[in-house]
Amino acid sequence: MNPGHSSFLLFLCGVTIAFAQGQFRRHSATEARPLDLEAASRTPPGNNACDIQVRGMFREIRSNAIPDHKVGRFPNAGNPHSISEQDQDFRLQANPVESGRTTAMDLGPTGIAVNGVLFDPGAAEFWQGNPGSGWTYEALGGAVPLGLDENHAHVQPTGKYHYHGLPTLLLEDLKVTAGKHSPIVGWAADGFPIYALYGYEDTEDEGSQVVELKSSYRLKAGDRPGGREPDGKYDGAFVQDYEYVDGLGDLDECNGRQTITPDFPEGTYAYFLTKDWPVIPRQLKGTPENLRGEERGGPGRGPGPGGMRPPRGGPGQGRFPPPGGGPGRDGPPPRPRDDN
């Protein structure tokens, strides 16, 4: 079975079970609000461990999901969970190709940062607590307080710390700076690289100006349907408030593009984190691996709303090596994309 289809089926099963058990919170808010972010002033409860190696056709990533930067206060008023170490062991394609279709990752993790923390932009928070309503609250929309910290991250019921938006302190540590092409900040579930904010203006010229790349999404005009659906203006409270407009910005519907980068001078498909929605890609061009699997539990680490379970494995060792860091540390670039 296609891994992307398998992941989607796992998600559907989890949603069905959670809904049957009444595990989703009921919300009726319809207005986006400014985020009230927890100050990232606390040291995580453990040392970061993340190892990324290319072996054969796979990029193997092992981590304990503990970030290598300061975090907010957890538990907090919007998030009742505490950060705990996890056993994460993933294998991504080291030479990915586009699949000829996009895969929507509505509530699944779309990638993993170079520090071993997952990019998991969706939130399992639904209009009236009903996942069948067609209306999902946007984690960055502020209508439902989720206790996010300055890294736009919070904690799942399993104890897993994960990013819903720009990982502020990670980007600072990686020296992501205007006027300079972004370093790799992570790997998508389909194996393609993830960059942040800044890339070449000309996708085929490394000598071109480095610019901030823009999303091609915008808020819909007018008002929501109302009645049995949310009312009010399309203001970003819900994921469904946004629409993709081809050519509006620099990036496609997956928040990516075919481009050369300092790491892939021959070209690759690459995703970019952006300041504007969707911030973290919500759709993928290749065939995604399942970043939601079984987890070896511990006290308080069972499944719950919005929770995710990684495949079995042990924590990795050391830190992510930079591209070109030595044999076995960075595989060959992804093949150029096929025209569809």
Residue pLDDT, tens place only, 183-211: 999 999 999 999 999 999 999 999 999 99
Asked whether the beta carbons of 121 and 284 are under 8 A apart, the reply is: no
Task: Match 């606390």 to its residue by tokens.
Answer: 42
Give the residue among 149, 109, 146 at the shortest CA–CA distance from 25: 146
Mean pLDDT of 41-69: 98
- Say if 339 falls within a structural domain: no
- Say if 259 falls within a structural domain: yes
Task: Please give the pLDDT value at position 327.
Answer: 26
- Say if 326 falls within a structural domain: no
Q: Structure tokens of 275? A: 């300041």
Split into its structural domains, the chain has a count of: 1
Asked whether the beta carbons of 61 and 316 are under 8 A apart, the reply is: yes
- Say if 332 falls within a structural domain: no
Half-sphere exposure of 159 (CA within 13 A, CB side): 21
Task: Please give the pLDDT value at position 22.
Answer: 45
- Say if 200 falls within a structural domain: yes
Question: Can you give the C-alpha Rg of the chain in angstroms?
Answer: 19
- Say if 112 falls within a structural domain: yes
Give the residue among 186, 9, 189, 14 at the shortest CA–CA distance from 110: 189
Least-confidence region, from 79-83, 140-144, 259-263, 300-304: 300-304
Mean pLDDT of 53-76: 98
- Say if 329 falls within a structural domain: no
Mean pLDDT of 315-323: 29
Q: Structure tokens of 264? A: 């892939």
Task: Please give the pLDDT value at position 292.
Answer: 81
Containing 48, the helix (H) or strand (E) segment is none
Model-wide pTM > 0.75: yes
What average pLDDT is seen over the chain? 84
Given a cut of 80, whether residue 307 has pLDDT beyond it is no
Task: Please give the pLDDT value at position 6.
Answer: 40
Burial letters 165-191, b for 16+ CB under 10 A, else e: bbbbbbbeebebeeeebbbbbbbbbbb
Res. 79 pLDDT band, cuts 50 70 90? very high
Asked whether the beta carbons of 327 and 262 are under 8 A apart, the reply is: no
- Say if 340 falls within a structural domain: no
Domain that holds residue 78: 1-37+44-319
In percent, how much of the chain has pLDDT > 90? 77
